[in-house]
Amino acid sequence: MYHQSTSLVEEQHDPFSLVADELSLLAKKLREMVVAEVPKLASAAEYFFKTGVEGKRFRPTVLLLMATALNVHLPEPIPNAGAPMAAELRARQQLLAEITEMIHVASLLHDDVLDDADTRRGIDSLNFVMGNKVSVLAGDFLLSRACVALASLGNPEVVSLVAKALEHLVTGETMQITTTTEQRCSMEYYMQKTYYKTASLISSSCKAVALLAGQTGEVATLAFEYGRNLGMAFQLIDDVLDFTGTSASLGKGSLSDIHHGIVTAPILFAMEEFPQLRAIIDQGFKDPKNVNLALEYLGKSRGIQRTRELAAQHASLAAEAIDSLPETIDEDMQRSKRALIDITQRVITRNK
Amino acid sequence: MASLTMVDLVGCASTSSNASLDRYLWRKTLHSSVSQRAHGVRRSGKLVTCRLDSARCRSISTKSADTLPNGTPEMLLNVKRGQISLGTVFDVVADDLLILNQNLKSIVGAENPVLMSAAEQIFGAGGKRMRPALVFLVSRATAQMSGLKELTTNHRRLAEIIEMIHTASLIHDDVLDESDLRRGKETVHQLYGTRVAVLAGDFMFAQSSWYLANLENLEVIKLISQVIKDFASGEIKQASSLFDCDVKLEEYLIKSYYKTASLVAASTKGSAIFSGVDSSVAESMFEYGKNLGLSFQVVDDILDFTQSAEQLGKPAGSDLAKGNLTAPVIFALEKEPKLRDIIESEFVEEGSLQDAIDLVQRCGGIQRAQELAKEKAVAAIQNLECLPRGSFRSALEEIVLYNLERIE
């Protein structure tokens, strides 16, 4: 489908590798910032910015790739002025990636306090290891740094965008905590909450990257749409994996959503086929019998498949957004665009 | 008769260099304290409308002024005052505060009922709205200088943002301090749990960030963002130096700046910026806010020792109990080595906390802290000298003095 230059060796490029150097610089910078300013939070810094634990730095990767894909080339007459300006732009976009990561990590820290979570990504959560207070403080610290960095970008529209995303994060979390029984069974409510909790931050940041590059209107919107659809696809698959884990069958996943009483897309779809599920959901999932019953219905239904289908739709929309970006002959830009599309596939085919 | 004279006084572009000094001396001689002014209910409203009109200026007996060597701010502090009531001081911006309350309710109320009731807990818990009042007072005082007729939307938004940030910090503070009581009422996290408290704080914070972003004034955005960073820094500084008897006064002042004064300073400077005055005036307003904030924090720290639980709305000596060493303690530690041992024991022994409190009081820790509070207060009043004389500047001075009266 994509014609790579024939002079290149055919290789499956790991999209993450395209920006690997920038990413490790980013992680290093964030880690050092935390350690330098707040020695007490050094272990927290280790915790979240340590290589291996960081979940592949999904967001910064997407943002840096987007930055390359949207590169604006300056007209020839000013060859020397080009380089430093380009470098400065890149630095600002990198800063935006840092900001996004700080906000994301802060929200995770607070989420874990809110969920009383014991583990995060397979290891002890910070609040479990160091107490709620440090987690709240660490989250506040990161958020405040993000705020200052955001202001330093000097772009009111970008500030607005990211501030809104921050608000959405909180709103999404609130929606999760305080749902009525009616809302819990509504696909619309679920999708809205998912947008707030997962897709909003990445979509706003993608758009911000475009705005920083001086792109407006259509291109900025396309960047936003890419982020939004990618985020939704990501979360939908997360919901599936919570049931299926690394195996294709049910029940091998961590099942943490259902045990927390959180009703996700697979169950909502299953409920359309089996209205009896509704009564079980209303009863709640404290009783393991209800959990098993729900899993049974889920297995009999097309809930998992339909969720995957929906995720694939969103992934496809994300890819379309990239396709709709202005044509270019620049190889770096082409590579980055391909990488962004590649990511949409990886998001829906991953096993963890 | 008394209030008429007061009106003239306030409106007077006095021949002496210290109209405020005159006013306080008059109060003393006429025995008309500010609380009497409050008694006159809407009479105090007249003070608002009184304009700077030198034609109406009467050369009031400057005898007392003559006998004083320098009409300095220091003298202000030595004059006995009547009970200053904040409610009266804020009279000049009462309408502004009303509008603020309404706006805040609708901003918060627009969202989730659970969050709303949590925020009600804080908003309804007897807060003085000191910070927004400062915004309005400085806004109005500086607006006079730049010829602005009315407060702008930005001014009002700034006040709302400040109050939201302040509230967010209180809610998280209580989680971090594991406090059960604030202002005599149960804290958010005591009532609703840590989850909601963290979320409510985050929500307030996010809301204020959003409104801040929409102000579209980069200077103010940076100013306030810095405050948010300072809050976290202050909290961290405090958390990492609990029970540390080597803490110096300088560090205490930095921590106090981060935790308290930074927000006040940003509010007063932001107000000046939106009024469009000279940057030198804006800087003076920053300094005023900073000195007021520091003075305020020192007084708070003193009261934690000297007031009873009832008056505080929370247990007395709670700072010390948690290992948070404040000005009185730092001063006392210089005099009394025994205190160090008790503190480092972290009060495991029954009665040791009370022993420590007694020691602090006995070796003049409180007194020296009072001196410190006054020092900052004097500086704050000096910072106001660039403002035009009038009811707003007077109110700003009175806030400084009100603060000091809390420890008399």
- Mind listing the pLDDT tens digit for each residue in B209-224? 888 888 888 899 889 9
Q: Which two three-digit tokens encode residue B391?
A: 């009811």
Instruction: Give residue B92's Cα distance to chain centre.
Output: 17
Chain B partners within 8 Å of A37 (Cβ): 233
pLDDT band at B64 (very low <50, low <70, confident <90, very high): very low
Mean pLDDT of all residues in chain B?
77
Least trusted range by pLDDT, from A164-168, B21-25, B117-121: B21-25
DSSP state of B182: E
N residues, chain A: 352
Instruction: With a cut of 80, say whether residue A46 has pLDDT above it.
Output: no
Contact flag A148-B195 (C-beta cutoff 8 Å): no
Which of A114, A166, A178 lies closest to B112 in CB terms?
A178
A165-185: b or e for each residue (b if 16 or more CB lie within 10 Å)? bbbbbbbbbbbbeebeeeebb
Give the highest mean pLDDT range of A124-128, A180-184, B54-58.
Answer: A180-184
CB A43 within 8 A of CB B240: no
Question: For residue B182, which phi and psi values (nearest 5 degrees)?
Answer: -140, 130
pLDDT at residue A49 above 80? no
**How wide is the angle at C-alpha A234 spanned by C-alphas A233 and A235, nearest 5°?**
95
> Do the beta carbons of residue B135 and residue B269 sit within 8 Å?
no
Sorted by sequence, the CB contacts under 8 Å of residue B208 that are 6+ apart come out as B161, B164, B165, B168
> Angle formed by the axes of helices B188-215 and B113-123, to 10°?
90
> Which tens digit of pLDDT belongs to each residue from A92-106?
999 999 999 999 988
The residue among B221, B237, B259 with the most chain A CBs within 10 A of its CB, best to mutate, is B221
Mean pLDDT (whole number) for A3-32: 70
A110/B213 Cβ within 8 A? no
Q: Say whether A147 and B209 touch across the interface (CB within 8 A).
A: yes
Whole-complex ipTM: 0.73
- A70: nearest Cα among A202, A199, A208, A162: A208
Write out pLDDT tens, residues B222-248: 899 888 888 888 887 887 888 999 999
CB contact under 8 A, B229 and A147: yes
Q: pLDDT at residue B318 above 90? A: no
What is the least distance, in Å, from the CA of B227 to any CA of chain A? 9
| pLDDT at residue A45 is higher than 80 | no
pLDDT at position B361 over 60: yes
Tell me which of A84 and B6 has the higher pLDDT.
A84
Query: Between chains, do A148 and B225 touch, taking CB under 8 Å as contact?
Result: yes
Query: B172-182: b or e for each residue (b if 16 or more CB lie within 10 Å)?
Result: bbbbbbebebb
Q: Is the pLDDT of residue B23 over 50?
A: no
Q: Tokens 């967010």 appear where?
A: B168
pLDDT interval class at B378 (50, 70, 90)? very high
